[in-house]
Chains A and B, each alone.
Chain A
Amino acid sequence: MNIAQLARKFGQALAPVRISISEANQNIEELAGNALQSSSSRADSASRSASGPMLDLEFVARTDVGRVRDHNEDFLGHAAPATPAQVRTHGWLFVLADGVGGQEKGEVASKTAVESMVAGFHSTKDGESHSTVLQRLVQRANAAIFDAAVAGGRSSAGMATTIVACALRYDRVAVAHVGDSRCYLIRNTKASQITRDHTIASEQVRMGLVTAQEAAESQTSHILSRSLGTELVANVETNDHQIFAGDVLLLCSDGLHGLVDASEMAALCGQGHDLHLAAEKLVALANDRGGGDNISVQLIRIRGVERMGMYRGRPYKLP
């Protein structure tokens, strides 16, 4: 392993980013004089305008190579609004990708996917629907991987990745995913999976061909029925959910959800728990149980939302 890889791995593992807008909100004057960004903590003077509360969140990202693999094929990324106004026009994007494929090409695929999505998110139009944006960005990421695979020749053939991305604005979250990386919504001490895995076994469950019990023991639960980079056009699934203050969104790769139950996730990430600690504990728990795959988790806690109604495709502020 070369130094650049090491640096990236540790960079990802050791420097989770925390963002707080509300703190910034309270300390605008102080912040105006300070640097707004640092490596480990970043504040955004978000709701400078006097138009009431805005979407406010904190998040942590953590990835670990696990106990068995010798390189990390997972990749995480996020796109934060650059200005307070962008919290409303663009919102936030969080992405997690888990590369597939031998010859260490899986990590190329996941990195390409995340970077393509993050770059694309910055250049979206103001106020564009997040479901549409995510659809388009995932397609773009797919094309980027496909191109890279074609350009890379034989050794890159067959590289692929799963992806799960969530975009937040006002009081909505749009979730797009391909493959078996999951998104959980933790609300009131209960974690519910809001993505459905794209694997052969879970497709069969959906068709009513096998029972959930059989699927859990199935040898096909690791064969992806959809993935990015294998075909020219990806089959993306997007969903839209309402979020409330206090909700936690959890994005994770199969290294985590294969070993840690939803109930355990909820217990660790519930109200009042420090996200840093929660992420660390989740990774440690997966490692204790074998750590057979790369473990990645991204936790996003919603601290406040801006209630919005839609009328004829335009957002209207609700009282």
Chain B
Amino acid sequence: MSDLHPGDQLDHYRIVGLVARSGMASIFRGTDVRNNREVAIKVPHEEMEADPILFDRFKREEEIGKKLDHPGVVRVFDDEERSRRYMVLEWVEGRLLRQILNEQKKLPTERAIRITLGLCDALDYIHSQGVVHRDLKPENIMVGPNDQVKLIDFGIAANAGSRRLTFAKLTEAMGTPDYISPEQVKGKRGDARSDVYSLGIMFYEMLTGKVPFTGPNPFVIMNERLLNNPIPPREVNPDISPQLQEIIYRALERDPNKRYPNAHEFALDLQHPEKVGVAERAELSNWKQRRSPVARQILFYVMLALIPVLVFGLMLFLARNK
């Protein structure tokens, strides 16, 4: 919000400075004047407060935040009277996983595993509390100086429901296209296994420096994961062991029933990769085949055109062999 400046007092928090602005809210660094505790203050924008979907999301985020208490999840302070709507969060020292990935592209394998294990732990906790993140991405993860991680955003809409949206709001409603799970692309709500998939994509990205599915627009990127297989991680980065590659594939299974059923199983395999059996996977041999809806259509028409040719051939054959 433009009317808050460093030095201002908001109830009993003193604003120290603006940290970030997103489409929905501004995040300020602040100090609690009662105990000098550092906090982050998230103030929704005016337009957002007027939009029922976004505002719902903001309220939901606060509710979820208050319910959770785990070192891997940012704490939301439940307090007292407030003069306006805002959210007070624990101040987290560190950097976004997104910033780290932007700067370093690939992370060393040990570090990638360490971060992923931390995330598995946090996910396992939130799932046990009945919360599914549904929009897990590097932008929502803080990494501290010793690689301890914290999930910082639980913003995905609880129920976008019956309200119609235009294509421009696709990402807002469904989640980030790069990290979304296939079942969510198909319009399902998504469960704990969807978070495992998103984590799998991040693990892939940390090890190889790129996301597995790309495309010219969000819709194509989303659909890509229903049609094609990613480049095998070992093709991109030969340092990855076959066991790690197998773990990635198990997290990225298209069918949620074949995927790791929960973050805990994912973590177990990561801790003991030597125990993972590496099987021959179809994805390893056929990842170069690109399937696209257009190619399918062309194939369909070619087959259609072939029908009269076949019929004629058959007639010719019968006539000759009478």
Contact A230 B187 (CB under 8 A): no
Q: State whether the Cβ of B174 lies closer than 8 Å to any Cβ in chain A.
A: yes
Where chain A touches its partner, the secondary structure class is loop
In the assembled complex, A208 has its CB within 8 A of some CB on chain B: yes
B166 within 8 Å of A (CB atoms): yes
Is A5 on the interface with B (CB-CB < 8 A)?
no
Q: At the interface, yes or no: A293 with Cβ under 8 Å from chain B?
A: yes
For A292, the chain B residues whose CB sits under 8 A away are 162
Contact of B167 with A224 in the complex, beta carbons under 8 Å: yes
Question: CB-nearest residue of chain A relative to B163?
Answer: A222
Contact with B along A149-191 (1 / 0, CB 8 A): 0000011001010000000000000000000100000000000
B169 engages A223 (CB within 8 Å): yes
Chain A: interface size category: 35 or more
User: Nearest Cβ in chain A — how far from B57, in angstroms?
Assistant: 13
Distance of A102 Cα from B161 Cα, bound (Å): 14
Known contacts: A103-B51, A223-B173. The answer to whether A217 contacts B166 by CB under 8 A is no
B296 at the A/B interface (Cβ < 8 Å)? yes
CA distance A151 to B219 in the complex (A): 30
Chain B interface, DSSP helix/strand/loop, else mixed = helix
Q: Does A100 contact B219, Cβ atoms closer than 8 Å?
A: no
* Chain B contacts for A223, CB-based, 8 A: 164-167, 169-170, 173-174
B189: chain A residues at CB < 8 Å are 219
A252 within 8 A of B: no
**B51, B169, B173, B186: which has the most chain A beta carbons within 10 Å?**
B186
Interface size class of B (residues with CB under 8 A): 20 to 34
Q: Which of A174-226 contact B (CB under 8 A)?
A: 180, 200-201, 203-204, 206-210, 214-215, 217-226
Query: Do B219 and A225 have beta carbons less than 8 Å apart?
Result: yes
Taking CB atoms and an 8 Å cut-off, the chain A residues in 250-271 that contact chain B are: 254
The smallest C-beta distance from A18 to any residue of chain B, in angstroms, reads: 31
User: Does A227 have its Cβ within 8 Å of any Cβ on chain B?
Assistant: yes
Chain A CB within 8 A of B223 CB: yes
A-B contact count (CB 8 A): 87
Contacts of A220 in B (CB 8 A): 173-174, 187
Question: Is B160 within 8 A of A100, CB to CB?
Answer: no
The listed residue (A103, A215, A225) touching B187 by CB distance below 8 A is A215
Residue of A nearest to B174 (CB): A220
B174 / chain A contacts, CB cutoff of 8 Å: 219-220, 223
- Give every chain B residue within 8 A of A221 (Cβ-Cβ): 187
Asked if B6 is an interface residue, CB under 8 A from chain A, the answer is no
Q: Is the CB of B187 within 8 A of A227?
A: no
Say yes or no: B167 contacts A208, CB within 8 Å: no
Residues of A within 8 A of B185 (CB): 204, 209
A180 to B226, CA, bound (A): 24
Contacts of B305 in A (CB 8 A): none
Query: Which residues of B line the A interface, CB within 8 A?
Result: 47, 50-53, 160-170, 173-174, 185-189, 219, 223, 226-227, 293, 296
A-B contacts besides A218-B188, A219-B189, A225-B219, 13 pairs, CB < 8 Å: A155-B47, A158-B169, A200-B187, A206-B293, A207-B223, A207-B296, A209-B185, A210-B187, A218-B186, A218-B187, A223-B166, A224-B165, A254-B164
Q: List 12 A-B contacts (CB under 8 A).
A: A100-B165, A102-B53, A160-B166, A204-B223, A206-B293, A214-B186, A220-B174, A222-B163, A223-B173, A223-B174, A224-B166, A230-B168
